[in-house]
Structure 1
Amino acid sequence: MPLAAMRRATRETVSGLPREFWWLWTSTLVNRLGAFVATFMALYLTLDRGYSASYAGLVAALHGLGGVVSSIGAGVMTDRLGRRPTLLVAQASTAVSVAVLGFMHHPVAIAGVAFVVGAASNASRPAVQAMMADIVRPEDRVRAFSLNYWAINLGFAISSMAAGFIAEVSYLAGFLIEAGMTAVCAIVVFVKLPESRPVRAETEKADEEVGLRAVLRDRRFMAVVGLSFLVALVFQQGSVGLPIAMGDAGFSPADYGLAIAVNGVLIVALQIPVTRFIDRRDTKKILIVSSLLAGYGFGLTAFAGSVGVIALTVCVWTLGEMLNAPTQTGLVVRLSPAQGRGRYQGMYTLSWSVAALVAPLMSGFVIDRFGAEWLWALCAITGTAAAIGYGALTRRLPSEAPAETPTATEADVSPVVGPVVGTEPDVRTA
Structure 2
Amino acid sequence: MKKLFLNYIDTFSGLSKEVWWLALITLINRMGAMVIPFLSLYLSDDLCFTLQEIGWVMSCYGLGSLLGAWIGGKLSDRIGYYKVILGSLLLTGISFFVVQYFSSFLSICISFFILITVADAARPAFFVALSAYSKPENKTRSLTFIRLAINLGFSMAPALGGFLIVTLGYSGLFWVDGITCIIAGLIMIKTLHPKKARVIDKEIVIENPTPAASDGIYMLFLIALTLFGFIFVQYFSTIPLYYKEVHFLSEKSIGLILAMNGILIFIFEMPLIAYLESTSLSKIKNVIHGFILTGISFLLLVITPWAGIVIIGMIIATLGEMISFPFGNAFALDRSKKGKQGDYMGFYSMSFSLAHILGHNTGMQFINNYGYNNAWLFMGSIAALGTLLLFIVKYKIGKEKTALLKKT
TM-score by length of 2: 0.90
The answer on 1:230 being equivalent to 2:227 is yes
1:333 aligned to 2:333?
A: yes
Amino acid at match of 1:5: L
Q: Distance in 2 between matches of 1:21 and 1:388?
A: 34
State the match for 1:370 in structure 2. Answer: 370
Q: Is the 8 A contact 1:260 1:311 kept in 2?
A: no
Secondary structure (helix, strand or coil) at the match of 2:193 reads coil
CA displacement at 1:247 relative to structure 2: 4.1
Residue 37 of structure 2 aligns to a residue whose secondary structure is: helix
Do the aligned residues in 2 keep the contact of 1:234 with 1:379 (CA within 8 Å)?
yes
How far does residue 275 in structure 1 lie from its aligned partner after superposition?
A: 2.2
> 2: distance between equivalents of 1:37 and 1:310?
28
| Cα deviation code 1:350-380 (max 9, x no counterpart) | 1000000001221122111111111111111
Partner in structure 2 of residue 244 of structure 1: 241
Alignment of 1:63-82 (within 5 A): 63-82=61-80
Which whole-Å CA distance do the structure 1 matches of 2:365 and 2:330 have between them? Answer: 34
Matches of 2:241 and 2:115 in 1, distance apart? 26
- Read off the aligned partner of 2:4 and give its amino acid letter: A
Q: What residue number does 2:58 align with? A: 60
Question: Does the Cα contact within 8 Å between 1:299 and 1:380 map onto a contact in 2?
Answer: yes
In structure 2, C-alpha distance between the alignment counterparts of 1:119 and 1:343, rounded to whole Å: 16
Query: Residues 3 and 115 of structure 1: is their aligned pair in 2 closer, same or farther, counting only changes over 3 Å?
Result: same
Secondary structure at 1:37's aligned position in 2? coil
Q: CA deviation at 1:302?
A: 2.8
Cα displacement (A) at 1:223: 0.9
Q: Which residue of 2 aligns with 1:113?
A: 111
- Pick the aligned partner of 1:90 from 79, 88, 91: 88
Contact residue 229 and residue 352 of structure 2 kept, 8 A: yes
Conservation of the 8 A alpha-carbon contact between 1:304 and 1:310: no
Tell me the amino acid that sits aligned with residue 298 of structure 1. F
> Whole-Å Cα distance in 1 between the matches of residues 105 and 353 of structure 2?
24
Q: For 1:223, what is the secondary structure of its paired residue?
A: helix
- State the partner residue of 2:277: 279
1:36 pairs, out of 29, 34, 46, with 34
Deviation at 1:251, TM superposition (A): 4.0
Aligned twin of 1:194 = 193
Query: Is the CA contact 2:132–2:203 (under 8 Å) kept in the aligned structure 1?
Result: no
CA change 1:384–1:199 in 2 (3 A) is: closer
Alignment match, 1:421: none
* Consecutive unaligned residues in structure 1, runs of 5 or more: 403-430
2:181 aligned partner: 182
Q: Which residue of 1 aligns with 2:148?
A: 150
Paired letter, 1:62: C
Note the C-alpha offset of 1:306.
Answer: 5.7
1:221 to 203, 211, 218: 218
Shift of residue 237, structure 1, vs aligned partner: 0.4
Deviation track 1:179-232 (CA, whole Å, cap 9, x = no partner) reads: 11111111122221134595788xxx94x525xxx2111001101111110110
Instruction: Please give the alpha-carbon distance, in whole angstroms, between the structure 1 residues aligned to 2:127 and 2:291.
Output: 22
The aligned counterpart of 1:101 is: 99
Which has the larger displacement, 166-175 or 325-334? Answer: 166-175
Q: CA deviation at 1:310?
A: 1.2
Name the counterpart of 1:26. Answer: 24
Partner residue in 2 for 1:386: 386
Q: Corresponding residue for 1:13?
A: 11
CA distance in 2, matches of 1:153, 1:265: 9
Counterparts in 2 of 1:251 and 1:4: CA distance versus 1, 3 Å: closer
- The equivalent residue for 1:299 is 299
Structure 1 residue aligned with 2:162: 164
Amino acid at match of 1:176: W
Aligned-residue offset at 1:303:
4.2
Q: Cα offset for 1:143?
A: 0.7
User: Which residue identity does 2:285 align to in structure 1?
Assistant: K
Q: How far is the alpha carbon of 1:278 from its aligned partner?
A: 1.9
C-alpha distance in 1 between matches for 2:394 and 2:64: 32
What CA distance in whole angstroms lies between the structure 2 residues aligned with 1:191 and 1:339? 30
Q: Per-residue displacement from partner, 1:307-333 (whole Å, max 9, x unpaired)?
A: 543122111101100111110000001
CA–CA distance in structure 2, aligned partners of residues 284 and 85 of structure 1: 32
Query: Tell me, what secondary structure is at the counterpart of 2:26?
Result: helix
> What CA distance in whole angstroms lies between the structure 2 residues aligned with 1:147 and 1:311?
25
- Identity percentage of aligned residues: 23
- Deviations 1:112-148 (CA, angstroms, capped at 9, x unpaired): 1111121122111100001111121111111101111
Aligned counterparts of 2:203 and 2:14: Cα–Cα separation in 1: 24
Q: Contact 1:91/1:185 (CA < 8 Å) preserved in 2?
A: yes
Give the C-alpha shift of residue 246 in structure 1: 3.3
Q: Which residue pairs with 2:48 in the alignment?
A: 50
Moved more, 132-141 or 156-165: 156-165
Report the CA distance between 1:265 and its aligned residue. 1.6
CA contact 1:259–1:308 (8 Å) conserved in 2: no
